[in-house]
């Protein structure tokens, strides 16, 4: 069974400015480093055409796992994350995957970005966390889901702290809806 996590955040900028940040390696590196819940390391960015794909990795903090499970872990779990965004249309959307080495856990995500008027947007994440461990799987799953929610909220708040760039419509690789 999976635990569902939903995180939404209103961002102080239009969709095209958020898309510009998703294409910006400096921002993605900053976003990984500043997330105090999960200190990620930037791995890669491919931002060609209407698709954006980026990857990161991190050591999963042991505080994310029930203490009674620590002694059974062969190592400190490593999490690899990848997000794939289709930013070529009017409504950017994507999918993501989270794989964990050292813990029988994984997660799948879907993301959407939509306008909220002329100068605001909303980003929505829907993540299914799955842990396949006898007896303690559901406990680990709930704990990881709670930590993912906190980390993602902190990460998304970073869009406003970093400062969204002013990008005229059509200059972010997306079609200009006015044409």
Predicted confidence (pLDDT) at residue 49 exceeds the cutoff of 80: yes
Question: What's the pLDDT score for residue 176?
Answer: 35
* Phi, psi for 4 (deg, rounded to 5): -90, 130
What's the DSSP call for residue 61? Answer: P
135's CB contacts (< 8 A; 6+ apart) are none
Predicted confidence (pLDDT) at residue 174 exceeds the cutoff of 90: no
Q: Vertex 154, ends 103 and 92: CA angle to 5°?
A: 90
Sole residue written with tokens 């999963």: 60
pLDDT bin (cut points 50, 70, 90) of residue 165 is low
- The predicted-structure confidence for 50-70, as pLDDT tens digits, reads as follows 999 999 999 888 888 888 888
pTM: 0.83
**What span, in angstroms and rounded, lies between the C-alpha atoms of 159 and 176?**
23
Over range 32-36, report the average pLDDT.
83
69's CB contacts (< 8 A; 6+ apart) are 133, 136, 140
Give me 152's structure tokens. 């993602």
- The predicted-structure confidence for 120-162, as pLDDT tens digits, reads as follows 999 999 999 998 887 788 888 888 888 888 888 888 888 888 8
What's the CATH fold of domain 2-66+75-162?
A: Alpha-D-Glucose-1,6-Bisphosphate; Chain A, domain 4 (3.30.530)
Question: What's the pLDDT score for residue 170?
Answer: 45
- The predicted-structure confidence for 102-125, as pLDDT tens digits, reads as follows 888 899 999 999 999 888 999 999
30, containing H or E segment = helix 25-34
Predicted confidence (pLDDT) at residue 172 exceeds the cutoff of 60: no
**What span, in angstroms and rounded, lies between the C-alpha atoms of 79 and 150?**
16
In the chain, the percentage of residues whose pLDDT exceeds 70 is 91
Question: What's the pLDDT score for residue 22?
Answer: 93
Average pLDDT in the chain:
84
Sheet holding 2-11, edge to edge: 2-11, 121-131, 105-115, 93-101, 78-86, 51-59, 41-46
Predicted confidence (pLDDT) at residue 43 exceeds the cutoff of 90: yes
């Amino acid at each position: 069974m999976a635990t569902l996590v939903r995180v939404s955040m209103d961002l102080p900028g239009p969709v095209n400015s958020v898309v510009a940040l998703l294409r910006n390696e400096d921002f993605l590196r900053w976003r990984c480093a500043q997330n105090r819940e999960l200190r990620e390391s930037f791995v890669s960015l491919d931002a060609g055409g209407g698709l954006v794909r980026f990857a990161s990795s991190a050591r999963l903090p042991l505080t994310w796992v029930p203490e009674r499970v620590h002694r059974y872990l062969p190592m400190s779990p490593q999490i690899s994350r990848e997000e794939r965004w289709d930013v070529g249309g009017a409504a950017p959307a994507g999918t993501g995957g989270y794989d964990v080495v050292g813990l029988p856990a994984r997660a799948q995500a879907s993301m959407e970005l939509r306008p909220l008027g002329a100068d605001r947007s909303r980003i929505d994440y829907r993540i299914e966390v799955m842990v396949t461990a006898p007896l303690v799987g559901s406990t680990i799953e709930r704990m990881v889901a709670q930590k993912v929610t906190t980390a993602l909220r902190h990460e998304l708040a970073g869009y406003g702290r970093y400062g969204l760039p002013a990008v005229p419509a059509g200059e972010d690789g997306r079609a200009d809806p006015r044409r």
